[in-house]
Structure 1
Amino acid sequence: MNDKKNDKTYDVVICGAGLAGLTLARQLKQTIPDLSILTIDKLNRPLPEIAFKVGESTVEVGACYLANIIHLKDYLEKNHYPKLGIRYFFGDGCDAFQKRPELGLSRFHAPESYQVDRGKLENDLRKFNSEDGVELLENCSVKEINLAENNGDLHQITYSKIDTKETGIVKAKWVIDSMGRRRFLQKKLGLAQPNNDRYNASWFWVDGRLDVTDFVSQNEQEWHDRVPEKNRYFSTNHLCGDGYWIWIIPLSTGATSIGIVAHEDYHSFESYHSYEKASQWLTKHEPILASCLTGKTPKKFMKMPKYSYTSDKIFSFDRWACIGDAATFPDPFYSPATDFIGFANSSIVNMIELDRQGQLTEKTVNAANRFFLIYQKSITKSIQTMYHCLGNGLVGTMKVIWDTLAAWSFSAPLMFSDIYLDSQKRNKVYSKSGQFFLLTNRVQHFFRDWSEKSSGKISFGFVDYLALPFVKELRERNLQLNRSEEELIQDHLANIEIFEELAQAIFIIAIADIMPEQLNKVLSAGWLNAWAISLDPNEWEKGGLFKPKSSPRDLQRILDPLQSNFSITILELERQFLDTKQEKETLCL
């Protein structure tokens, strides 16, 4: 091996040139043009544009970061697919596909989100960054990061060229670990923490268009008319069953990404951790998809056991940070990865700006760590509750609607109105959020209980969630750019009111599903304490269910749109129960 040689000194060295590192470099250059930036990565261009990396699906927060914060909107619209939301097919995968309960969108809505081919995007970002003056060392592996011992010293990064084994050293005021699941700094510093070891995934890519629309005969005209022009193809399609979900993602480069994600308690990882076993697993659980894959050879197969993890810290006042998969990995169910990249990158840009002005404080860094890690923990907890609901279309749909609205109402404004960097403003806007988090914690436990007890009597064919007026209201209110502080405060208070109503509506639907004999008692109360909902009637009085702390409002604006999609209404279920009860009493006489 050649001797180490001293190289340049930079303001920022980013170790790893994946999506997180490349977008950070771009954002830094756009914000602080005179910053000297080096990125180091083990891969050479051209990166493969098919079967490269997962993380292809974006949602509104991450899409806002890519399109508006780092100014890729025109590029994304020209080079990658628009996304028709996440679409969920619940129920028995062995049943006729058109019979599965479906939750999704009928048409595209602004603001946009995208399906991105990671290879193409990362190739192009490397090109854009180079044109903007960001240096890139390719075909180089980071061997060591020696952190500065004193705040005024420089970090030292040792790298090795993969082909020649020649080594070099660069120095930097700031060093960023963006080397993915290698998690170099976290492991070096003993910061790495697991989230839960019961969740595993495997995935692969196939050439060509694999379209869920083709899973259903064209004779099923009503099913096809729900989503015109075969546009289901442009959704991130989730096939959901007991303890598992499968993603199907279309890519503009002509391939399809397919992944299996499951809870170990339901499905052993060994049953789908190779392509041969995954094919057998799909034949058993999702035979329609399996039949469409017959004869196709995967471009690449990958697997990831125990994929979820977190950290004690991702930002340091000592001028280092971890981003992307080198920071945390929650769960891919709601496609949040790019959201986290956006929040982490923007926080780092803010810290480097403050550092250059001599105004960076430990308090600022600690606040950024606290916000990011609490946010990541709450998203992970919410998603991991979902696995116990995936086999039930009704419960799964109610939970997805709740979680989606929570993301729009509480996460989206952080990015769309840029308030996550200002803790004082954020705290002022969300001063009443404590009651929401108590409510959502109650509701999340409620969903799990409901999924275990559901009778299955209430079913539906298709719910277009943006056809629900209260859902549309929340989306339009919260997914706006640059709202004023006063507008955000009023939005937040209005959001909490809708969640209070939605929690009561969900409770009433669950009672109709599980214990219709209690419906009259619940409905006659008119207005409930949403923070006391429970499926144990013995807890209702003690918990204060019938002693609400807010003024009554009309629940029908939530209940009526929801149950208009159901095969049977709440009142019909109550009548059925009363008729059955009367028949039994007559027989006894």
Structure 2
Amino acid sequence: MLEQATPAEVVILGGGLAGLTLARQLRLARPETRVVILERRAHPVPEAAWKVGESSVELGAHYFSEMLGLADHIKQDHLPKLGLRFFFGAEQRETLDDGLEVGSFSFFPTPSFQLDRGRLENHLARELAAAEGVTFLDQAKVTGFTLNEDGLPHEVTFRCGDQDGRIVTRWLVDCTGRAAFLKRKLDLVEQVDHKVNAVWFRLQTETKVDDWCRGASCSNNQGNRWLSTNHLMGPGYWVWVIPLSSGSTSFGIVADPRLHRLDTYNKFDRALAWLQQFEPLCGAEVAEHRDKLQDFLVLKNFSHGAKQVFSVDRWALSGEAGVFLDPFYSPGSDFIGVSNTFISDLVLRDLRGKSIRALAPIYEQMYQGFFKNTLVVYQDQYPLFGNARVMTVKIYWDYAVYWSLLAFVFIQGRLCDLRSYGRISDAFQQAGALNNAMQQFFRDWHGADATPAPTAFLDQEKVDLMVNLNRGLKAPLDEAAFLAKFEENKNLLFALAAQITKRAQRRHPQLAEACRAVTALCDHQQVAVSDGAHPEYLAAAWPVLQL
């Protein structure tokens, strides 16, 4: 029988990205914390691993590089990310620049990265395994647990090799991914009304999407498109092409089953045929290198929630063991960073003898609110994905919401600052209601305008709104300046919503009724919507989009 001689303070089930980063976060804040990690798979894991989640955006990138101190490792062993890039018009595309491209020629002020999950997890595991007070056990299968209340320790049983083990611990955190060991045992599984499927695979080849294009936009972009998280967009689907520092390339097909049945692409040969039909440039690339296939995975109805993720009785869920949204805007690492930061704060307060009885429900409410307010960005929106005009404006809107609200609060270090959060919570709710109305408006707009994409390049760097919001994420702000900036961001969103709906209604007068809900919210906020009241935030985009 393997038994921990000294009781653990935290046992983490699962040594993937969520579990490893949580352990590192706890140890950085309190080096004496006794942590045990039980990981079912053998370590080290393969590079270009089977796991999805290579693409990080600003919140998750900040969490990894700044909060966890991984900047040097990421710079040395991973790739910088040239933002999110979108290609529309596959039906008219002979080369990649036939149609509308939305992206940037240069890196935005706040960085993001393309991460090789296997390489990152191996690095984290090695460092933790070498740390005094940390026990990292791979090939350890959890067989059971007992949760106790009133401060009594929990118990975990497991099997490692041919030996059984037992650990007692003050905290138990489930980071087992979709296995969701704790969530399933406690009947916390919660379905969400977002039914989308995905397949993904890696090829052991360095794919550069720049080779799929011709013309001035290619030379102007200096051959760096491949460093983006590239989205190939079509009605009801998108395809990702993501580079990995190990030299492999990650491909994925994500689709709404109402428009693309899973059984048409749920095996590699079917996926290849699907690509050759809907994204032939990508299909030709995959076909050329099919002998370099490293893996192929399928995930049906991947989005899910959880009835509870944080407990006053000293257990928690993080990563995919808790909730998962949609990979379109790469939020997986963001929600790991947010949940781990809440969990770390609860654990450390408890280990310092402070009560978390009032705090845990507050963090629960905040986290569930972030999840539900972000879910509306994806839910029932896949039919829009082939509509270049509507979808491009939606992309700008979604960026603005993300950089104005959650990413801004997190990167400013205010996530667990309840005094500040209490003063912005009403503004958060107002912006959330506006976002709900705007997501419905985009669906209505799509119904009114489905004309083909123009052939053009829309440079995000020329949209001042985008650059300024991105730069503002890391601006040094004291509490007063932070509160003022958040209010400014909220007001910007209302003005932007008014401009978007006004522009769309000008082109399509039949959208007057669809605009009504947004207009009512703007009127309630007393946002001036007349011409000249605010800068024309998307002035650079309107001519390109022919709006």
After TM superposition, is the score higher than 0.5?
yes
Output the CA distance in 2 between the equivalents of 1:157 and 1:540.
51
CA distance in 2, matches of 1:54, 1:281: 20
Check whether the contact 1:57–1:236 (CA below 8 A) recurs between aligned residues. yes
Secondary structure at 1:487 match in 2: helix
Counterpart Cα distance in 2 of 1:544 and 1:343? 29
Cα separation, 2, equivalents of 1:180 and 1:541: 38
Paired letter, 1:205: R
1:396 equivalent in structure 2: 391
Q: Output the CA distance in 2 between the equivalents of 1:413 and 1:167.
A: 46
User: Whole-Å Cα distance in 1 between the matches of residues 165 and 519 of structure 2?
Assistant: 68
The whole-number CA distance in structure 2 between the counterparts of 1:236 and 1:380 is: 20
Separation in 1 of the partners of 2:31 and 2:475? 25
* Segment of structure 1 superposing worse, 88-97 or 176-185: 88-97
Distance in 2 of aligned mates of 1:320 and 1:130: 23
TM-superposed CA distance for 1:346, in Å, is: 1.1
**2:488 corresponds to 1:470:** no
8 Å contact from structure 2 (residues 236, 260) kept in 1: yes
Decide whether aligned partners of structure 1 residues 307 and 559 sit closer, same or farther in structure 2, where only a CA change above 3 A counts: closer
Q: Secondary structure of 1:452's match?
A: helix
User: Alpha carbons of 1:204 and 1:487: their partners in 2 closer, same or farther (altered >3 Å)?
Assistant: same
SS at match of 2:305: strand
Q: Which amino acid letter does the alignment assign opposite residue 273 of structure 1? A: N
Any conservation in 2 of the 1:198–1:265 contact (CA below 8 Å)? no
1:288 is matched with 281
Shift of 1:562: 2.4
What is the one-letter code of the residue matched to 2:541?
Answer: L
Q: What is the match of residue 573 of structure 1?
A: none
1:453 aligns with one of 440, 448, 451: 448
How far is 1:430 from its partner? 4.1
Cα-to-partner distance string for 1:65-95 (whole Å, 9 max, x where unaligned): 0011111011101110000001011223552
Partner residue, 2:23: 25
Partners in 1 of 2:47 and 2:469 — Cα distance?
A: 37
1:169 aligns with 2:166: yes
* Partner Cα distance (2:355, 2:485) in 1: 31
Structure with bigger RCO (C-alpha 8 Å, 6+ apart): 2
Amino acid at match of 1:60: E
> Is the Cα–Cα contact under 8 Å of residues 38 and 137 in structure 2 kept in the other structure?
yes
- Structure with bigger gyration radius: 1
- Extract structure 1 runs of 4+ deviating beyond 4 A: 537-548
Q: Equivalent residue for 1:137?
A: 137
1:53 shift after superposition: 1.2
Following TM superposition, by how much is the alpha carbon of 1:556 offset from its aligned partner in structure 2, in angstroms? 5.4
Does the Cα contact within 8 Å between 1:330 and 1:376 map onto a contact in 2? Answer: yes
Alignment of 1:30-69 (within 5 A): 30-69=28-67
The one-letter amino acid paired with 1:247 is W
2:106: which partner in 1? Answer: 107
User: Structure 2 vs 1, CA of residues 307 and 452 (structure 1 numbering), >3 Å: closer, same or farther?
Assistant: same
Match of 2:242 among 223, 243, 249: 249
Cα 1:310–1:459 change in 2 (3 A) is: same
For the 8 Å contact 1:430–1:489, the answer to whether it is kept is no
> Which range is displaced more, 535-544 or 167-176?
535-544
Mapped partners of 2:26, 2:450: distance in 1: 54
Q: How many residues align?
A: 540
Aligned-pair Cα RMSD in Å: 2.2
1:99-248 matches, within 5 Å, as 99-133=98-132, 134-148=134-148, 150-161=149-160, 163-164=161-162, 166-196=163-193, 198-217=195-214, 220=215, 222-227=216-221, 229-248=222-241
Rate the CA distance shift 1:313–1:426 in 2: closer, same or farther, 3 A: same
Q: Is the 8 A contact 1:146 1:157 kept in 2?
A: yes
1:399 and 1:447 in contact (8 A); partners too: yes
The corresponding residue for 1:549 is 526
CA gap 1:27/1:481 in 2 versus in 1, 3 angstroms: farther
How far did 1:387 drift? Answer: 1.1
Do the aligned partners of 2:2 and 2:164 also contact (CA within 8 Å) in 1?
A: yes
Measure how far apart 1:512 and its partner are: 4.1
Match status 1:275 vs 2:268 = yes
Q: Which sections of structure 1, spanning at least 5 residues, go unmatched?
A: 519-533, 571-589
**Structure 1 residues 171-570: aligned runs within 5 Å:** 171-196=168-193, 198-217=195-214, 220=215, 222-227=216-221, 229-295=222-288, 296-297=290-291, 298-456=293-451, 459=454, 461-477=456-472, 479-480=473-474, 483-515=477-509, 534-536=511-513, 549-551=526-528, 552=530, 553-555=532-534, 557-566=536-545, 568=546
**Aligned-pair distance for 1:457?**
7.1
Tell me if structure 1 keeps the 8 A contact 2:205–2:248: yes
In structure 1, how many angstroms separate the alpha carbons of the residues matched to 2:452 and 2:538?
17
In the superposition, relative to structure 1, how do residues 418 and 270 fare at CA in structure 2: closer, same or farther (>3 Å)?
same
CA positional deviation for 1:545: 8.7
Aligned AA (2:286): L
Gaps of 5+ in 2: none
Moved more, 354-363 or 230-239: 354-363
Query: Hey, what's the Cα distance between the residues in 2 that align with 1:418 and 1:385?
Result: 33
Name the SS for the 2:385 alignment partner.
coil
- Sort the Cα spacing of 1:435 and 1:322 in 2 relative to 1 into closer, same or farther, 3 A: closer
Give TM-score, length-normalised by structure 1: 0.87
Instruction: State the shift of 1:37 in Å.
Output: 0.7
The CA distance in 2 between the partners of 1:252 and 1:311, in whole Å, is 34
Q: State the 1:303 CA deviation.
A: 0.5
TM-score, reference length from structure 2: 0.94
Paired residues of 1:540 and 1:546 also in contact (CA < 8 A): no
Is the Cα–Cα contact under 8 Å of residues 109 and 470 in structure 2 kept in the other structure? Answer: no
Paired residue secondary structure (1:273): coil
Residue identity matched to 1:307: F
Deviation at residue 378 of structure 1 after TM alignment: 1.4
Contact 1:429 1:485 in 2 (8 A): no
- Relative distance call for 1:542 and 1:100 in structure 2 (3 A) is closer
Question: Does the 8 A contact of 1:146 with 1:156 survive in 2?
Answer: yes
Q: Percent identity at matched positions?
A: 31
Q: CA deviation at 1:279?
A: 0.8
**Maintained 8 Å contact 2:144/2:158:** yes
SS in 2 for 1:494: helix
1:183 counterpart letter in structure 2 = A
Cα 1:235–1:135 change in 2 (3 A) is: same
Q: State the alpha-carbon separation in 1 of the partners of residues 24 and 228 from structure 2.
A: 28
